[in-house]
Amino acid sequence: MKGLKLLATGRALPSQVLSNEDMSRFVETSDEWIGGRTGIRQRYFCAEGENATTLAIAAAKRAMERSGAAPEEIGCVVVATSSGEYVMPSTASTVHGALGLPEDIPTLDVGAACAGFLYAVEVARGLLLGNGKRCALVIGTEQMSSVLDMTDRTTCVLFGDGAGAAVFALDEEREYVSVQGTRSDPAIRSGCPGITRQVPMTMDGQAVFRFAAAIIPKCVQDLFAKGGKTMDDVDWVVCHQANERILDASIRRLGGKDKFYKNIDRYANTSAASIPIVLDEMNEQGLLKEGQRVVMVGFGGGLTWAGVMLCI
C-alpha cells in the first residue's frame, strides 16, 4: 500500500502569548465571548524577528533531530502555509538551506489554507514515490497575525501563529488512505503579508462554521468507506483546530469522543500548522504509538478539505 510511517514531529511557537483579555485591548470583546463561542483562551503572535520562516525552521530542526533520519535520506521538503514571509523564494526552499539538505531534492510550498498540511502530506508521498528517496519533511507554518485586521473582532481573536513539522518515511507495509475536495467559495479571504494592510483577512464565520460542521463527518466517512474501516478501528482523530464547537458537532455525528484531541484553547486557529502541532503535543505526551491508526482532517479557505488515514 506504500503508506507513511511517522518518524518524528516538532513544533515551534513565537515568544508573545496573548490572552483573550489582551485581545480586548484591540477590539471590543471578552474572554467570555471568545471562550464560549470557540474554546480559545490564548494565542501566540510573532514578535519582531519572528515569522513563518523562522518558526518553520525551528520546528523542522526539532523533527529532524528526533527522527534519526540523515539529511541524505530526505527526499522532499513540502511546506503548507498561507502566510509565508515571501511568495518567492518559497518557505520550503529556505528551510532546505537552513537545514543543509542535499541539492537533488524538490522543495515547494502548498497553499490550501487550513487543509494545507494534509495536502502537503499527499504531495510529499507522491514525490517520494517518484524519486525513490525514503523520507519527507512536511511542515505547516503560519504567521496569521500578519494577515489579520486587528480592528475586526470577527476575525482577529480567532487565529494564532505557530509551526509544526513531521518527518515521514515511505513504508511498503503501511496503509494509507486519503481524500481531498474543493468547493470554490471566497468565504475566507486574505492578502499576502506584504500587502496585508490593503487586503486583510475577511471571513463569513457562520458560512464557514456550517461548511466545517458538515465536511468533517463527510471526510471521515469517505475515508472509512475508501479504507473499509469504522470508528472502532481508529485510535485517534486529529482535526484542524478552528473552533471547539465545530469539533463537538462532529463528535456528535461520528461518535468516538475520546479519540478526538483538542488543543485550540492554547493556540487558537493556527491554520496549516494546527494538525502538526497537535501531532507533536500528542507525541510529547506519549499518546502516539507505532501501529496506531490515525485519521486526520483539515478544512478551510478555498474552501478546501482533506483527510488522511494512516497507520503511524
**CB 68 to ligand UT7: min, Å:** 33
In this complex, which beta carbon is closest to ligand UT7, that of residue 63 or of residue 144? Answer: 144
**Residues ≥6 apart with Cβ < 8 Å to 187:** 203, 204, 207, 208, 211, 301, 303
260 binds ligand UT7 (CB under 6 A): no
Residues 240, 243, 283, 311: which is the catalytic one?
A: 240
CB atoms within 10 A of CB 138: 32
Q: List the interface residues with ligand UT7, window 207-226 (CB under 6 A).
A: 208-209, 212
**CB 33 to ligand UT7: min, Å:** 4
C-alpha grid cell, residue 150: 486587528
C-alpha grid cell, residue 147: 494577515
- 311 part of the active site: no
Task: Report how far apart, in Å, the C-alpha atoms of 59 and of each of 62, 193, 256 are.
Answer: 5, 21, 30
C-alpha grid cell, residue 118: 494534509
269 binds ligand UT7 (CB under 6 A): yes
306 binds ligand UT7 (CB under 6 A): no
**CB 225 to ligand UT7: min, Å:** 24
C-alpha grid cell, residue 35: 471562550
Among residues 48, 206, 232, 290, the one that binds ligand UT7 under rule CB under 6 A: 206
> Site for ligand UT7 (CB under 6 A): how many residues?
20
In this complex, which beta carbon is closest to ligand UT7, that of residue 1 or of residue 207? Answer: 207
Beta strands 42-45 and 16-19: pairing type? antiparallel
Distance CA 208, CA 10 (A): 29
CB atoms within 10 A of CB 142: 32
- 114 part of the active site: yes
153 binds ligand UT7 (CB under 6 A): yes
91 binds ligand UT7 (CB under 6 A): no
Distance CA 252, CA 147 (A): 33
In this complex, which beta carbon is closest to ligand UT7, that of residue 114 or of residue 279? Answer: 114
Q: List the interface residues with ligand UT7, window 27-46 (CB under 6 A).
A: 29, 33-34, 37-38
Residues 46, 114, 135, 156: which is the catalytic one?
A: 114
**Residues ≥6 apart with Cβ < 8 Å to 124:** 76, 78, 136, 137, 138, 168
User: What residues pair up with 181 in beta bridges, in sequence order?
Assistant: 305
Q: List the interface residues with ligand UT7, window 165-194 (CB under 6 A).
A: 188
Active-site residues, by number, are: 114, 240, 269
Per CB under 6 A, residues contacting ligand UT7 are 29, 33-34, 37-38, 114, 153-154, 157-158, 188, 205-206, 208-209, 212, 242-243, 269, 300
